Structure 1
Amino acid sequence: MTEQTAYPRLMHTALDTEDARGLAEFYRELLGLRYRPGDEPPTEGPDDADWLVLLDADGVRRLAFQRVDERLPRSTWPSHDVPMQLHVDYAVPSSVELERHRDRAVALGAEVLLDRTADEVEPLVVLADPAGHPFCLLVARSVAP
Structure 2
Amino acid sequence: MALAELGVVVLDCPDPRALAGFYAEVLGGTVEGDGDWVDLKVPGGRSLAFQAAPGHVPPKWPAPAASQQFHLDLTVDDLDTAEQGVLSLGATPLDADDRSRSWRVYADPAGHPFCLCAC
Q: TM-score, normalised by structure 1?
A: 0.73
The one of 46, 71, 76 aligned to 1:92: 76
The residue identity in structure 1 corresponding to 2:11 is L
Does residue 126 of structure 1 match 2:105?
yes
The one of 14, 22, 31 aligned to 2:10: 14
Supply the distance in 2 between the matched residues of 1:91 and 1:117 (Cα, whole angstroms).
Answer: 18
Q: CA RMSD of the aligned region, Å?
A: 1.7
Does residue 51 of structure 1 match 2:37?
yes
5 Å-filtered alignment, 1:108-127, equals 108-115=89-96, 118-119=99-100, 122-127=101-106
The one of 22, 26, 32 aligned to 2:28: 32
Does residue 83 of structure 1 match 2:62?
no
Deviation, structure 1 residue 62: 2.0
Residue aligned with 1:86, SS: coil
- Structure 2: gaps (5+ residues): none
Does residue 138 of structure 1 match 2:112?
no
* Contact kept in structure 2, 1:115 and 1:124, CA below 8 Å: no
- Structure 1: gaps (5+ residues): 1-5, 40-47, 141-145
* Contact kept in structure 1, 2:103 and 2:117, CA below 8 Å: yes
Q: TM-score, normalised by structure 2?
A: 0.88
